[in-house]
Every structure is written in structure tokens, then in C-alpha cells.
Amino acid sequence: MVNITITDSAQVYLAELLSKQEGEVLGVRMFVNQPGTPGAETCIAYCREDDATVEDETRSYPAFTAYFEKRSVPFLDEAMVDYASDKFGGQLTIKAPNSKMPRARLYECRNTSPSTRPTVILLIPSPRTPISSLDTTRAR
């Protein structure tokens, strides 16, 4: 499940933008272009029927549905979308601290021999390799 915050002010702003769209718009879609690279860029776009996929994670908000691209989910962990009004109108801000590199997870592999120290492995999940499919039993 995606760990992202869309603040109340951002929800109101996005709902207003969506209400002004012509045609069938399902909601907003959030994704990361070039995830895991120095050129990573977090994006929010209108989500039309052709844009949504069955693999997308979805979250319902009071006025719209947000779709999150599956391969981008690890890179959107702890992301925040906020809207702040100012004298020029306002600004939508997206902060995605893990867009360039997803959060690493530590795993301790216990050896069966009591004379050896446990090995700690740092695993950085790839969007193509679910963490549950990694075989840590072969680590030495």
C-alpha cells in the first residue's frame, strides 16, 4: 500500500481542477518519471480511462480517486502533496524524498552455526522485484 499524504488543501485544489475538466476524468494519477535515478521527477496528471491500469494502487478521497502507478509506489513512499495559497493564486507542491532512491530495508540473516556472527543485508527493493520474492536464505 502506498504511503503518501495528500493534504486537505491539496485535495480541495485537485478536486476543483478536476471539476473543470471536460470529458471523462477518473481522478488524478501520480507517478515518478525515471524513478531511482538522479533525474527522477514526481508527477501528478489527470487520469482518464485509458491511463488507469489494473496494477495501479488506488485511494479514494472525498471528491476524487487517486491512482498510483505500481512501479512508482516504492519511490512515492512518504511523499506529500500540499497546496498553499498566496497572493498570486497558490502553488501545488510535491515532496517525494524517496523518488531518486527508495527507502532501504535492513534484514538480519541468522546463520545456523553459533560460532559465526549474523550477517546484516541492506536490501533496496527494485520496482520490478517485490521484496517478498527476494531469497535471503542463501545469504552468507
Helices (H), 23-118: none
H or E stretch covering 33: strand 27-33
Q: What is the pLDDT of residues 42-67, one digit of tens each?
A: 999 999 999 999 999 999 999 999 99
Which phi and psi (to 5°) does residue 70 adopt? -55, -50
What was the pLDDT predicted at 89? Answer: 86
Location of each CATH 2.60.300.12 domain in the chain: 4-95
What percent of the chain has a predicted confidence (pLDDT) above 90?
59
pLDDT exceeds cutoff 70 at 134:
no
What was the pLDDT predicted at 11? Answer: 97
Written as one letter, the residue type at 75 is F
CATH of domain 4-95: 2.60.300.12
